[in-house]
Structure 1
Amino acid sequence: MPQLALYTFGVLKSPLADASPLTREFYDIGGTVYQTISRHPGYIAHAEPAGDDRGKLFGADWGAWGEFTVPTWYDKGRTPETTALAATLSLWTDVRPAFDAIYTGMHRKALNRRYDWFERTGHPNYVFWWVSDDAIPTWQDGVSRLEYLQDGDPAPHAFTFHHSFTPEGAPSGKGVGAGAGTPS
Structure 2
Amino acid sequence: MFRQASRLLGRSSRLPRVRAMCTEVPANSNKDSAFVEAWKKVSSTMEPPQTPSTYMEPRPPTPSSLPSKLTVNFVLPYSSQLSGKEVDMVMVPATTGQMGVLPGHVPTIAELKPGVLSVHEGSDVTKYFVSSGFAFIHANSVADIVAVEAVPIDQIDASLVQKGLAEFTQKLSSSTTDLEKAEAQIGVDVHSALNSAITG
Q: TM-score range by the shorter chain?
A: under 0.3
Which structure's residues are more often strand, by fraction?
A: 2
TM-score between both structures, scaled by the size of structure 1:
0.25
- Higher relative contact order by CA 8 Å / sep ≥ 6: 1 or 2? 1
Which structure's residues are more often helix, by fraction?
A: 2
Larger Rg over CA atoms = 2
